[in-house]
Structure 1
Amino acid sequence: VYRHIYASKTKTQVIENFTVASIMEKTSKKLFIFNLCINFGILVTRRCNATTYFVGDTSGWDISSDLESWPLGKRFSVGDVLMFQYSSSHSVYEVAKDNFQSCNTTDPIRTFTNGNTTVALSKPGDRFFVCGNRLHCFAGMRLQVNVQGNGPSPAPVGAPRAAPAGILQPSSKKNNPATGVASSAAHIGGRGLRGSMNYFVYLMVFTFPLILYFINN
């Protein structure tokens, strides 16, 4: 009798332990799926809020563009993208602050020469870009962008050094915005949103089977 009672208690305890383990496993899976959805939503929100800027608007990365005034009125945030479009006579060099002020292109951080360069603004702070042709840099082909983070904006860099004697400065420069569009940011907004939606669809295609697997197991 006692052996039968002990066996029954043991069996009951095993069933209870199995039930508790099953509940904990299901709860753990649900929490995992919940966290996955939260992170997924944050990722999509960041992608949709990102802005792509054409440097110099339709004038592009060119000696005729007023690149000094182009950033004015624009707020560059982490996740935004700069699009440099330029001819084969130009290039894009990302440089340090001191080299930016002196148009020094001998020690660049990164160089681009493909004529259609995309630069992601991945962290807050100042970014500095110049044309690889130093004469073009002195003539105005240089750009400072302040990427906003959570902290206060750093002070802008002082005025660049004067160009050496004999280098001609363009008499007038302008940035030609796209027709009927207020700014380069607005010009790209629709494309950026469509790209984010495509990204959303791709993620759903790959993550939906994974979510179903965890729900059913």
Structure 2
Amino acid sequence: MEKFRSVPMVVVTWSMVLMVWLMLGVMGGPVLHKVGGSKGWTEHGVNYTEWSTQENVYVGDWLIFKFDKRYYNVLEVNETSYESCMDRDFIKNVTRGGRDVVQLTEAKTYYFISAGGYCFHGMRLAVHVRDYREPAVPAPAPLSSAAVSAALFPSTVTSLWLLLPHFKLF
């Protein structure tokens, strides 16, 4: 008899877990974007303009620059310095150790270059950060009364699946 009293609480708990999971899937959270994909931050064979246009970057997301710190660095610069590959008067040197992370806190275009002439070889990135994340799934269509009643009352199979672990069969 004691096991039957806990069944409604289990259903409520699983319902809450499912609801949180769905909310996270729709709203999403911050995303870590590896600059340059699998090649990282290097002067060899990466088109950072093309890479950034394929990324959906939002406020709160992070960029990770992976590179060989003996050769490269990461400087945040303004648009003028980005266009001319000027590594003086940068906004911020984000170089720490070759696996450097930058959080994007504003909706704007961020500009990054690598100094020492590497910018002229293509090591520069302009990434446009959007203010809000669009839903991952389209908005649901209005439900008919039949769909609402079907959604409110789970099927027999679903009910049994939820309750089955609480019954001792042998």
Q: Using structure 2 for the length normalisation, give the TM-score.
A: 0.58
Question: What is the correspondence of 1:36-185 to structure 2 with a 5 Å cutoff?
Answer: 49-64=29-44, 65-87=46-68, 88-111=70-93, 112-133=95-116, 135-149=117-131
In structure 2, list runs of 5 or more residues that go unmatched. Answer: 1-19, 133-170
Which secondary structure state, in structure 2, belongs to the residue aligned with residue 144 of structure 1? Answer: strand
Per the TM alignment, residue 73 of structure 1 is displaced from its structure 2 partner at its CA by 2.3
Distance 1:48 1:70 in 2: 21
Question: Using the alignment, how far apart are the partners of 1:99 and 1:66 within structure 2?
Answer: 19
What is the alpha-carbon root mean square deviation over aligned residues? 2.0
Moved over 6 A (4+): none
Superposed displacement of residue 91, structure 1: 0.2
Instruction: Look up the SS of the partner of 1:69 in the other structure.
Output: helix
Q: 1:140 to 1:67 in 2, by over 3 A?
A: same
Aligned-partner Cα distance in 1 for 2:48–2:109:
15
Distance 1:55 1:127 in 2: 13
CA offsets 1:67-89 (integer angstroms, 9 cap, x no match): 12111222110010000000020
Inter-CA distance 113–91: structure 2 relative to 1 (3 Å threshold): farther
1:167-201 alpha-carbon deviations (Å, 9 max, x no partner) = xxxxxxxxxxxxxxxxxxxxxxxxxxxxxxxxxxx
Between structures 1 and 2, the one with greater helix share: 1
Deviation at 1:113, TM superposition (A): 4.2
What is the aligned-residue identity percentage? 28
- Give the CA deviation at 1:110: 0.8
Q: CA deviation at 1:48?
A: 5.3
How high is the TM-score relative to the length of structure 1?
A: 0.46
Output the CA distance in 2 between the equivalents of 1:113 and 1:100.
21
Provide the C-alpha distance between the structure 2 equivalents of 1:116 and 1:137, rounded to a whole number of angstroms.
Answer: 19
Unpaired runs of 5+ residues, structure 1, are 1-40, 151-217
CA positional deviation for 1:132 = 1.6
Question: 1:57 and 1:95 mapped to 2: Cα distance?
Answer: 22
